[in-house]
């Protein structure tokens, strides 16, 4: 099966990585820093998601992204945590923009997430990659990542994969 890729930024990349690792059809989430072009050419925390479009659609991935970070909050850390979808093609960019517009009616406040063309990626240090999978009981994970995973389990139960959830760690122990 051929994989499609898209990148997402919005909050801490540890959180974003864990969110997408918990979904069926996502084969890989590369945690690091993504840059776009022009005024968005600086690097911002993000994750490149490699997925099987036959199993999980771009629409579902975008909806998950919008519901698991502050997609309507233009806070002071937005340079480091740009609320973004980074596209790998013009057609993906157009599809993502249309999907964002369609999701707006589900939110009381304006979605600030923007669609940018992908330009560059720098991976996080190895010690931080797969952070949640390596450290599910750490305070950061229990305080910030687990609530996002609960949203996914509640709102997207058909797409939850045990490999990226707390249950998978409890099963292994």
* DSSP conformation letters of 36-51: -SGGG-S-EEEEEEEE
Is residue 141 annotated as a catalytic residue, yes or no? no
| Active-site option among 6, 7, 12, 61 | 12
Burial of 27 (0-12, 13-18, 19+ CB in 10 A): middle
User: Among 93, 73, 89, 90, which Cα is nearest to 81's?
Assistant: 73
Give catalytic residues, as residue numbers.
12
């Amino acid at each position: 099966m051929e994989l499609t890729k898209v990148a997402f930024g919005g909050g801490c990349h540890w959180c974003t990585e864990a969110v997408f690792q918990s979904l069926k059809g996502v084969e890989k989430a590369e945690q690091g820093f993504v840059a776009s072009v022009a005024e968005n050419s600086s690097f911002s925390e993000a994750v490149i998601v490699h997925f099987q479009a036959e199993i999980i659609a771009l629409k579902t991935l975008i909806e998950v992204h919008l519901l698991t970070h502050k997609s309507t909050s233009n806070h002071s850390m937005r340079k480091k945590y740009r609320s973004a979808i980074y596209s790998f093609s013009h057609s993906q960019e157009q599809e993502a923009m249309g999907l964002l517009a369609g999701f707006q009616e589900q939110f009381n406040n304006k979605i600030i997430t923007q669609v940018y063309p992908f330009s560059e990626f720098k991976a996080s240090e190895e010690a931080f990659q797969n952070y949640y999978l390596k450290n599910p009981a750490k305070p950061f994970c229990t305080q910030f990542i687990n609530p996002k995973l609960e949203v996914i389990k509640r709102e997207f139960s058909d797409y939850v994969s045990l490999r990226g959830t707390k249950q998978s760690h409890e099963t292994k122990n």
